[in-house]
A and B are shown apart, each in its own frame.
Chain A
Amino acid sequence: MTKVDIVTNVYERLGFSKRESSEIVEKFFAIIKESLANNENVKISGLGNFVVREKKARKGRNPQTGEEIEIAPRKVLSFRLSQVLKSEINDSAEK
């Protein structure tokens, strides 16, 4: 499934044109992205939480030359699955 399929679902369910549907779906993802870029976590009940985590600076090595290098502090995004969805997936797997 890609964004196009999501746009189609929005188009079919609401009265928007395909173009409007596409713009609205883009805005939805842009809102989430902006929030995460501002260091604010996003919680979507029933799906999961998008959490920004800070990583400290650490020393690494270039595996080719063995040279020691500093890995800069950075932020990464992790997705924590909703417990409800987790059990939904595994219940359907047993059938």
Chain B
Amino acid sequence: MNKIDIVNKLSETANINQKVAKIVVDTIIDSIKQAIVTGDRVEIRGFGSFSLRSYKPYKGRNPKNGEVVNVPPKRLPYFKVGKELKEAIWKEG
């Protein structure tokens, strides 16, 4: 499922036209992205949360030729799965 599928499904279930549904989906995704980029924690009850984690620089290796490379410090968002979502996925298994 990709963004277009979400737009179509939202248009159906919320009974709104596709153009509006697309703006809604873009607004939601942009809100989340904006918060992540600025380092704000995003918490969506029942779904999960995103928080930015900092990683120290370290020396890594190019797995192809074994060359040592410096990996710069970086920040990456971590997604913690919400309890409800976790259980929904688990039960289907």
Chain B's interface size range is: 35 or more
Q: Is the CB of B24 within 8 A of A14?
A: yes
8 Å CB interface, B65-82 against A: 74-77, 79, 81
Q: Is the CB of B75 within 8 A of A1?
A: no
Q: From residue B3, how far is it (CB to closest CB) to chain A in Å? A: 6
A31 and B6 in contact (CB under 8 A), knowing A89-B75, A89-B76? Answer: yes
Chain A's interface size range is: 35 or more
**How far is B4's CA from A7's CA once the two chains are assembled, in angstroms?**
21
B residues adjacent to A (C-beta < 8 A): 1-3, 6, 9-10, 13-14, 16, 20, 23-25, 27-33, 35-38, 40-48, 52, 74-77, 79, 81, 84-86, 88-93
Given contacts A9-B28, A27-B10, A43-B1, 7 further A-B pairs with CB under 8 A are A13-B27, A29-B47, A33-B88, A36-B89, A43-B2, A45-B3, A81-B76
